[in-house]
Amino acid sequence: MQAIHIDFLNAVDIENLALTDAEILDAVESGLIAQGRKETVIEPRVHLEPDPAFRGHFNVLRGYVAPLGFAGVKIVGDYVDNYLQGLPSEFGILNLFDPRTGMPRAILDATAITDMRTGAVTAIGAKHLARKGSKVLGHIGARGTAYWNVRLLDHFFDFDEIRVHSRRPESRDGFAERLSNDLGKPVVAVDNWQACVEGADIVVEASRLEKPTPLLKTAWIKPGALVVPYGTMSAVELSLTDIMSKMVVDDWGQCKGGKFGSLRAHVESGKLSEDTLHAELGQIAASLAPGRETDDETILFWHRGLSLSDIALGAAMLEKANRQGIGQKLRFA
């Protein structure tokens, strides 16, 4: 057998790639469009919980994106107490394969990929579903994905007001300071959910709760707003779906099953179902279903996270790395 080498991009390599906001968004939207056109295969994520005492679990995401010529598997850990050790809550590895032979093609550190692609899906969802003149963002949560939510949303909307909140003052204050420095505009840290959410044009709920707790009240949602909840444990009231003109998800197959997710109770109660679902985001991105049609629509977008987005962003990183000579070649066989 001929020698087989695979590309390896570690966290430093990915940082050195210095992908622009536009490069991240274009890559992720290409995966969504492929999904909308049925040029992909995606299987619902599975979970591994080694021990409840560890207060964390692994997500395993699998998919295939035909236009990119890659199949991929991402394994990412989600551990809520990692901050106590000075560690990020999420570590991930993305494996890319040749879908025709099964031959491994690349291994990429997926910690930054997870953060970037999550923020990109939030932002692309808002591009299609939020009012064009949205100027106030309320963001709950300050974990790794939160930074890219705010940064990439601001790329599209150039907000006049950005409010952020998280449970720990040092977390929300540091988050606001980092965003203010990077975006070149004030970002305000507030000390409660209502002050963050009420009256915002776009509301993103990315909290990290130990158990479902309805901290985000339906009454605070501004008519015509876009609400994007994606916490592992639900932070929204059951009544949230009652005020929505449209409900959109990233992948119904993932959203309708499993034990985790911010709208799990809404699925189980029938409030969110195939009958009440408007569309998947990929269908909207591919112009196969309408997004926002009027300014007065109040819209919900729930995303669980797509392997397709990981694969699309990983492929874009790999292509740029090969052009620039970044990364390493590992002998596989």
27 and 135 belong to one structural domain? no
Q: Is 243 exposed, middle or buried (0-12, 13-18, 19+ CB in 10 A)?
A: middle
Report the CATH number that the domain containing residue 176 is assigned in CATH. 3.40.50.720
188 and 90 belong to one structural domain? no
Q: What is the pLDDT of residue 50?
A: 95
Range of the structural domain that residue 50 is part of? 5-113+308-331
Tell me how far apart the alpha carbons of residues 167 and 169 are, in angstroms, rounded to a whole number. Answer: 6
30 and 45 belong to one structural domain? yes
Q: What is the pLDDT of residue 1?
A: 74
> Which of 268, 131, 269, 143 is CA-nearest to residue 203?
131
Q: What is the residue-level pLDDT of the chain in tens, covering all 333 positions?
A: 789 999 999 999 999 999 999 999 999 999 999 999 999 999 888 889 999 999 999 999 999 999 999 999 999 998 989 989 999 888 999 999 999 999 999 999 999 999 999 999 999 999 999 999 999 999 999 988 899 999 999 999 999 999 999 999 999 999 999 999 999 999 999 999 999 999 999 999 999 887 888 999 999 999 999 999 987 788 999 999 999 999 999 999 888 877 777 888 899 999 999 999 999 999 999 999 999 999 999 999 999 888 999 999 999 999 999 999 999 999 998
Label each residue of 76-144 as H, E or C. Answer: EEEECCHHHHCCCCEEEEEEEECCCCCCEEEEEECHHHHHHHHHHHHHHHHHHHCCCCCCEEEEECCCH
Tell me how far apart the alpha carbons of residues 49 and 80 are, in angstroms, rounded to a whole number. Answer: 13
Q: What is the CA radius of gyration of the chain?
A: 19
How many structural domains does the chain have? 2
236 and 267 belong to one structural domain? yes
Q: What is the pLDDT of residue 75?
A: 97
Tell me how far apart the alpha carbons of residues 30 and 303 are, in angstroms, rounded to a whole number. Answer: 17
102 and 199 belong to one structural domain? no
184 and 250 belong to one structural domain? yes
Report the CATH number that the domain containing residue 31 is assigned in CATH. 3.30.1780.10
Q: What is the pLDDT of residue 113?
A: 95
154 and 283 belong to one structural domain? yes
Residues 6+ apart with CB under 8 A from 293: none
93 and 130 belong to one structural domain? no
Give the 3-state secondary structure of residue 43. Answer: strand
248 and 125 belong to one structural domain? yes
pTM of the model as a whole: 0.93
DSSP state of 250: S
170 and 192 belong to one structural domain? yes
131 and 208 belong to one structural domain? yes
Q: What is the pLDDT of residue 256?
A: 86
195 and 296 belong to one structural domain? yes
Residue length of the chain: 333
